[in-house]
A and B are shown apart, each in its own frame.
Chain A
Amino acid sequence: MSSLVALGPVTLQWEVFAVTSAASSGEPADLAMSRYAEGDDAAFSIVHRAVADRLRAFLMRMARSPSLADDLLQETFLRIHRARGSFDVGGRVMPWCYAIARNVYIDYVRQRSVRKERPAVNDPEEGELERPAGPESDGEQVTIAAELAARVERTLASLPPNQREAFVLIRYEGLSVADAAAIVGATEGAVKLRAFHAYEALRAALGDEAPKKRGAT
């Protein structure tokens, strides 16, 4: 804190640079988390800006409810604060945060199953996600895309959580199989298999309407 006061404008410039870079490369976010782990509280804002949106998107995909995802995101950040001392030198902040967010979601699912709660069917926030059409959208294409997305979402929701998380982490969050395996605490083979089962279920659900992409891996 004292260095912040002493170096005022210089520190501010560094923070602006770090935030800009954090969004593009991610490496400064790792350094910022490392600084936060060592007690530099000012570095947390850089970490927050770098990870918040991706964590929210991940939790949205897992929980399928914007309000629930926001609650889980808050809990995730609380745990990040509590666990900052366990962030190791040279660690990568994104997989570390995903692992915490995943645990938060699993704890939520366990608590819900203990209380024997079910998602409220009539709750628009807990059902299918609402899909507003963009201003530049073509009517028919939007309808088809929305129908496909709804089918994907229903199928994902019907999958076991371990298959869903494997698929979401690899396909939508763009993680490597090795990173996803480290996050879920399983072997790479097991994670690949789970993602494959999810992929098979989604292919079956989409049928002939599954979009094709040349050279996709």
Chain B
Amino acid sequence: MSQVDLPDFSAIPDPLAAHGSAQTPATSVAPAPPREAVGPTRSAVIRRRLAAVALGFGWLFLVQVVIGLRSGVPMWIMALHAGVPTALGAVALYLALRPGKVGVGPSARSVITFGVIGAATFSVAALATPCATQTMGYVEGSLLCGDITVLIAIVPLAAIAWAQRGTFVAGAGFRSALLGASVGFAAAGMQALHCIESDRYHVLFGHGWPVIALGLAAYLLLRKKLAVS
């Protein structure tokens, strides 16, 4: 069932049908692959993935212990600013790694839906809080926080990229971007626990641009590494 409702769609002749090559067997027996060309088993890939996620969380926890928690901000604001990005990061990670309906990855529609809902949720969480403290200018504050967030995210991103190398059979571009955004969200959540600024626009832009930047960087730098090649 093609699901394409066009008159005579299936009547367009097939050039190969007349050629007869479509019926020619490619080879009668499966050629044995060279041992070095055979990739790791599924169990090995899953173990690698779990190790990378554990390493990423361990790194984020370590960074949090070193840089410390901020003070003077109501707990609910901290929970909102840290919890929402972390939850979005978890959803992005799940989406990037899920096999989808046919086993080749998430559908483009689900990724687009996540992009819209994720951006809206992050914005609402940032803007819904009262302006508590603002000690720096918007630009310098945003650059400082963003830089720290990107630095925090590098280790988990490298870990998950190592674990997933050569495993995306389709949609390697947007799945790589999702991985970058996922790590960016998690790092933004960690940064929100430390950052002394709790101004709504600072949280929106200062903690938001690294998510976009990491998604873009992962798309540009990692998609070929993560694609099956």
Number of A-B contacts (CB under 8 A): 231
Give the bracket for the number of chain B residues in contact with chain A. Answer: 35 or more
Given the complex of chains A and B, what is the CA–CA distance between A183 and B107 in angstroms? 9
Number of interface residues of A (CB under 8 A): 86
Say what secondary structure dominates the interface of chain B: loop
Q: Is the CB of B26 within 8 A of A53?
A: yes
Given the complex of chains A and B, what is the CA–CA distance between A132 and B24 in angstroms? 13
Given the complex of chains A and B, what is the CA–CA distance between A84 and B166 in angstroms? 10
Decide if A160 is an interface residue (CB 8 Å cutoff): no
Q: Given the known inter-chain contacts A187-B112, A216-B9, A217-B10, please indicate yes or no for A152 contacting B41, CB distance below 8 A.
A: no
- Pick the residue among A38, A60, A103, A149 that contacts B43 (CB under 8 A): A38
Q: Is the CB of B102 within 8 A of A95?
A: yes
Bitwise, A126-164 to B at CB < 8 A (1) or not (0) is: 000111101000000010011011101100100000000
Given the complex of chains A and B, what is the CA–CA distance between A216 and B102 in angstroms? 26
- Pick the residue among B17, B42, B171 that contacts A87 (CB under 8 A): B42
Bitwise, A77-93 to B at CB < 8 A (1) or not (0) is: 11101111111111110
Q: Is the CB of B17 within 8 A of A179?
A: no
> Hey, which chain A residues are within 8 Å of B15, CB to CB?
61, 129, 149-150, 152-153, 156
> Hey, which chain B residues are within 8 Å of A172, CB to CB?
14, 16
Given the complex of chains A and B, what is the CA–CA distance between A184 and B107 in angstroms? 10
Bitwise, B9-49 to A at CB < 8 A (1) or not (0) is: 11111111111111111110111010001111111110000
Q: Considering only CB atoms, which chain A residue lies closest to B169 in the complex?
A: A99
Q: How far is the CB of B127 from chain A (nearest CB, A)?
A: 30
Q: Is the CB of B13 within 8 A of A152?
A: yes
Q: Is the CB of B22 within 8 A of A88?
A: no
Say what secondary structure dominates the interface of chain A: helix
Q: How far is the CB of B34 from chain A (nearest CB, A)?
A: 9
Q: Given the known inter-chain contacts A57-B22, A81-B37, please indicate yes or no for A181 contacting B4, CB distance below 8 A.
A: no
Decide if B227 is an interface residue (CB 8 Å cutoff): yes
Give me 6 other A-B pairs in contact (C-beta within 8 A), A52-B30, A182-B107, A210-B11 excluded.
A55-B26, A84-B42, A95-B102, A130-B19, A213-B8, A216-B11
Q: Name A residues whose Cβ lies closer than 8 Å to a Cβ of B.
A: 37-39, 41, 44-45, 47-49, 52-53, 55-57, 60-61, 66, 70, 73-74, 77-79, 81-92, 95-96, 99-100, 102-103, 107, 129-132, 134, 142, 145-146, 148-150, 152-153, 156, 170-172, 174, 176-179, 181-188, 190, 192, 195-196, 199, 202-203, 206, 210-213, 216-217
- 22 A-B residue pairs with Cβ-Cβ distance under 8 Å, sorted by A, are A53-B24, A60-B16, A77-B33, A83-B39, A83-B228, A85-B167, A86-B45, A102-B170, A103-B229, A149-B18, A170-B2, A171-B2, A171-B9, A181-B108, A182-B100, A182-B101, A183-B104, A186-B108, A187-B108, A190-B108, A199-B4, A213-B11
